[in-house]
Structure 1
Amino acid sequence: MSAGVRPGVRPVMRPAADCRFDVVSLGEVMLRLDPGENRIRSARNFSVWEGGGEYNAARGLSRTFGLRTAVATSLVDNEIGRLTENLILAGGVDASLIVWRDFDGVGREARNALNFTERGFGLRGAMGVSDRGHSAASLLQPEEIDWDHLFGTLGVRWLHTGGIFAGLSESTAQTAIAAMTAARKYGTVVSVDLNYRPSLWRGEAARARAREVFTSLAEHADVLVGGTTDFVDRLGVESGQLDGVLARFPNLWLVASTRRTVHSANVNDWSVVAQARTERALTSTQYDRLEIMDRVGGGDGFVAGLVYGLLEGHDLASAVEYGAAHGALAMTTPGDNSMATRAEVEALVGGNGSHVQR
């Protein structure tokens, strides 16, 4: 059996001492423009953050959990790109894998992606307006990063990517598969967050293509994160249940899904369900009526906590609790990214999260 074939068993983690990075995320990093308590249409000032579905997990693993992370992406070499790079570096994420593209002066050939996001309040839901056409990341080609050098020579314990990046263009779907194939070849664990975005798949032909792309992602993953509608509509699993996903994709070891009941934009019930092959299904602590400041990044926070727990050798139940707690905390602060500390996550896992810290 080749190193790239793992028939649904719990992966053996590569030793940290043998690897340059604990985790590499492959995905687009956008500049988020946040109007705070205002709305996009009436804003006069914006706060600036960096964010992206795949990147957010790497940042959480770096800043909250202290792991060595990097992001594989592409940016245009202008002031906006360098601002994004500075934010990435401030998040403790290695930027050496960024593919830089020349700026043509106006952005006809390539540009840096922007994401305007308002948080929502009460009856008014959160809203995001992406401005990412012809972004540098959408142009990324499989051969632009030396995957054999990254996973073989440098060494990476875990690769995380997802459906947002794969949905940017045909070449990003190909790049994701190339990275995942190389990662599995060298014994790197691969996780995918399906993260379906309707704005990236408009029209019947595009939605049909989405099923093909998402199916291919699932076929190359060890760990899969998604929602019931993702499993049904994108993977063709009729029941939408976790055991049905495992049956459909024999390479998978673990499937997980966040569960959210929306009472208002600022009050949600939050929990996680997960199932590993040959193990019983697990349900995390239920965070009923969780008060939310900014819901963006909650799922990415879950991924970060889960990956941390598994890389640290915790049992699956504990890793799921780390993920659920970190995702919950990530939604109590503004921006895409978690501002939680590991101590706060551990306190919440232990049932002491809202106590005063003195």
Structure 2
Amino acid sequence: MQLKVRPAEDCHYDLVSLGEVMLRLDPGEGRIRTTRQFRAWEGGGEYNVARGLRKCFGMRTGVVTAFADNDVGRLVEDFILQGGVDTSLIRWVKYDGIGRTVRNGLNFTERGFGLRGAVGCSDRGLTAASQLKPEDIDWEHLFGKLGVRWLHTGGIFASLSATTPETVVAAVECAKKHGTIVSYDLNYRPSLWEGIGGKNKAQEVNRAIAKSVDVMIGNEEDFTACLGLEVEGVDENLGNIDVENFKRMIEKAVAEFPNFVATATTLREVHTATVNDWSAIVWYDGKFYESRSYPKLEIMDRVGGGDSFASGLIYGLLTTGDGQKAVDYGAAHGALAMTTPGDTSMATVKEVEKLMGGGGARVVR
């Protein structure tokens, strides 16, 4: 079974993402606990996909999210505008002056180096996005009148509060009603699920949403924690990964969720924070496709690598319908995204296709 994508001319958007966008504050090469300055970026697991598809691949994208209407929210909006993602779907919530009832999310991020791993320290309680409810968005207008070819959302947004899973379900159900493809990145974050029921709640929510997903994305920890599907032969540090074990896990997933048309997984073995083995596999239309491998890939900033994989994968599926090209676009885009700072990709489609074709790092003049 192949994906049946709506024609571009019938839709206002190629892709819309649903999720929270935070202000990322980065101490650069230093530590959060000792820095005297931060570099500001925007970022969010679901949004990063829309941004990558727009900025690298030139597709028409928008983001459904919410901000407290203050200068921090407007700063993040400015970043989104710079990334070319449509902001007309953002819900603005009146700010109370000090954040008693509504705030904007902050994400402090250390890149890591060598034996010191990357660290994320989020400050996202009571955020406007976490308080989104199904009725806050006119889904019929978005999917029915405007038209969307692809909806992307994920487990980060679904884990933010009691209402965000309901909001995901409302969006997914309306999207499916109007023929929109739905992708979902499990993106398991223990710190987010811990406050609302832990792994049991994560599995309850994600397994319910999974029944309506066309393209499921996640790594080994995601599939285990969120869907209860074990990967054989993976140690507690998620090392020594065998591709065949992944294939068996994905076969279990598509047997349990026959609605999955495609399932994608990145394969990362961490030697140090700055040296990883990187590749990906995709199951699509009944076949497995493996990307080119990127052994000993040198990492500048690993945060957002999986999101850039997802945007490359979606681009490949939207434009070619070819599983091999899709996984190659995803793996190459994710690899390039991790060579630059920030959550989002700075790559061009020309650079992605050069890397897919075996191009190296020789100077370009």
TM-score, normalised relative to structure 2: 0.94
Alpha-carbon distance in 1 for matches of 2:181, 2:156: 19
Residue 250 of structure 1 aligns with an amino acid whose one-letter code is: P
Following superposition, the deviation at residue 357 of structure 1 comes to: 1.7
SS of corresponding position for 1:170: coil
Following superposition, the deviation at residue 278 of structure 1 comes to: 2.2
Alpha-carbon distance in 2 for matches of 1:24, 1:284: 26
SS of corresponding position for 1:93: coil
Following superposition, the deviation at residue 314 of structure 1 comes to: 4.1
2:216 matches 1:209: no
- Counterpart for residue 348 of structure 2: 341
Deviations 1:188-232 (A, max 9, x none): 000000000011111693321111111022111100001223223
User: Are the aligned partners of 2:188 and 2:221 in contact in 1 as well (CA < 8 Å)?
Assistant: no
2:128 matches 1:136: yes
Residue 265 of structure 1 aligns with an amino acid whose one-letter code is: A
Deviations 1:227-264 (A, max 9, x none): 22322332122456111110010111111110101111
2:51 matches 1:44: no
Alpha-carbon distance in 2 for matches of 1:291, 1:101: 41
Deviations 1:267-326 (A, max 9, x none): 0000001112422x1211110000000000000000000011111124110011000000
Q: Gapped runs of 5+ residues in structure 2? A: 232-245
User: Are the aligned partners of 2:3 and 2:321 in contact in 1 as well (CA < 8 Å)?
Assistant: no
User: Are the aligned partners of 2:143 and 2:174 in contact in 1 as well (CA < 8 Å)?
Assistant: yes
Alpha-carbon distance in 2 for matches of 1:236, 1:80: 38
User: Are the aligned partners of 2:161 and 2:196 in contact in 1 as well (CA < 8 Å)?
Assistant: no
Alpha-carbon distance in 1 for matches of 2:152, 2:80: 16
- Counterpart for residue 107 of structure 1: 99
Alpha-carbon distance in 2 for matches of 1:203, 1:46: 28
Alpha-carbon distance in 1 for matches of 2:136, 2:202: 24
Alignment CA distance shift 1:50-1:204 (3 Å): closer
SS of corresponding position for 2:183: strand
User: Are the aligned partners of 1:24 and 1:58 in contact in 2 as well (CA < 8 Å)?
Assistant: yes
TM-score, normalised relative to structure 1: 0.95
SS of corresponding position for 1:12: coil
Deviations 1:141-199 (A, max 9, x none): 10111111101100000000000000001111100111011111111000000000011
User: Are the aligned partners of 2:202 and 2:225 in contact in 1 as well (CA < 8 Å)?
Assistant: no
Residue 338 of structure 1 aligns with an amino acid whose one-letter code is: S
Percentage of matched positions with identical amino acids: 60
2:312 matches 1:305: yes
Alignment CA distance shift 1:334-1:214 (3 Å): same
User: Are the aligned partners of 1:246 and 1:277 in contact in 2 as well (CA < 8 Å)?
Assistant: no
2:287 matches 1:291: no
Deviates more, 1:37-46 or 1:194-203: 194-203
- Counterpart for residue 262 of structure 1: 270
The alignment covers a number of residue pairs equal to: 349
**Structure 1 residue aligned with 2:259, among 229, 251, 260?**
251
Alpha-carbon distance in 2 for matches of 1:244, 1:82: 44
Alpha-carbon distance in 1 for matches of 2:125, 2:224: 28
SS of corresponding position for 2:283: strand
User: Are the aligned partners of 2:25 and 2:40 in contact in 1 as well (CA < 8 Å)?
Assistant: yes
**Structure 1 residue aligned with 2:284, among 273, 276, 284?**
276
- Counterpart for residue 65 of structure 2: 73
Q: Gapped runs of 5+ residues in structure 1? A: 1-8
Deviations 1:68-101 (A, max 9, x none): 0000000000000000000000000000110100
User: Are the aligned partners of 1:242 and 1:274 in contact in 2 as well (CA < 8 Å)?
Assistant: no
Alignment CA distance shift 1:356-1:66 (3 Å): same
Alignment CA distance shift 1:109-1:203 (3 Å): closer
- Counterpart for residue 82 of structure 2: 90
Deviations 1:13-71 (A, max 9, x none): 11111110000000000000000011101111100000000000000000000000000
RMSD: 1.2
SS of corresponding position for 1:104: coil
- Counterpart for residue 185 of structure 1: 177
Alpha-carbon distance in 1 for matches of 2:2, 2:321: 12
SS of corresponding position for 2:141: helix
Alignment CA distance shift 1:294-1:238 (3 Å): closer
The 5 Å alignment of 1:215-230 reads 215-230=207-222
Residue 216 of structure 2 aligns with an amino acid whose one-letter code is: L
User: Are the aligned partners of 1:345 and 1:353 in contact in 2 as well (CA < 8 Å)?
Assistant: no
Residue 282 of structure 2 aligns with an amino acid whose one-letter code is: A
SS of corresponding position for 1:289: strand
**Structure 1 residue aligned with 2:15, among 14, 19, 23?**
23
Alpha-carbon distance in 2 for matches of 1:181, 1:353: 44
- Counterpart for residue 118 of structure 1: 110
Alpha-carbon distance in 2 for matches of 1:231, 1:18: 34
